[in-house]
Structure 1
């Protein structure tokens, strides 16, 4: 008789555990479904970045494998979403030449960007005596001596979070690449002398991946 009672209690417990698990799974499914439907209705768009200008203070290959760079850039960021805000975590700005990093990282502090809002940043990116691939150093020296435009890329790496109402998502990686073409040494240069630097109006749309 006692064996039957124990078996009955075990079955009851199993049913209770099964019901709890089923309710939990259904709740999770409904929550995910609501989030996905909301996301599909809102159709979030990636932020848009534009490189407005670049002021070149230093761009010097002191040896085939050593480069020193000092550049100030103005970057415009726009949130095109009307119902979604964006939290930017720390973002790191740096410059590359021929896919090689030529400056240290400059940090843009965390900031919230509201619906349809704009943010403008003007970070300095610089690097003193940065190791450089010799073939890139020779190529850059030749470009400078010929007066041809120097092709660089200003990059931003960081993380962002989307905000819908009171709901905030997890972090997503964001990668921004802004091409820069500056005619240093060219007699037809359109740059404006600003103190010890030369400022170039760029107005170049950047590529963004999230």
Structure 2
């Protein structure tokens, strides 16, 4: 059977990670949070004392990255998110991580990938594409609550500022800027609970899956 790939894109704290996880469980597909790849590169560079603006060093770190490094709890921190946004602007870093992502997407049966450029660059032919978003203030509140639950003491205003800086950086970079694919379904989760967002996403994907099956 051909691979049924679900691409879930969107800005930080939009809910795309939770939605991707729920979709993976619903369809029995493996899930890759591609943001963890960039977080891991940033964390590795920082630990080695590398300059985050050094594209060559970032490329080297990306080339050496292994799947088991994605389980590092440090990758879920606020600091790791900032590091990821900085190293993701480098075209060579993105290119070095492309094979990892496409190999994951090409697994028998399919996969779910969430990130910033999955539907536009990584797997532009994915049968199902979603662009999950929410208002910056809503996303900041979600991330603030998440960080507090992880034991990180941070002011809400600082989290909101981070969100706005990351949106500008991710959307304005030359290499694979964050934007919806032309054929992606837009899902605004600002006024939705987790269950409502997951249900809306399932309905979108189910419709895409029906079209995909009928075209084969």
- Tell me which interval the TM-score lies in, with the shorter structure as reference length: under 0.3
Give the structure with the higher percent helix. 2
Higher relative contact order (CA 8 A, sep 6+): 2
Q: TM-score, normalised by structure 1?
A: 0.25
> Between Structure 1 and Structure 2, which shows a larger proportion of strand residues?
1
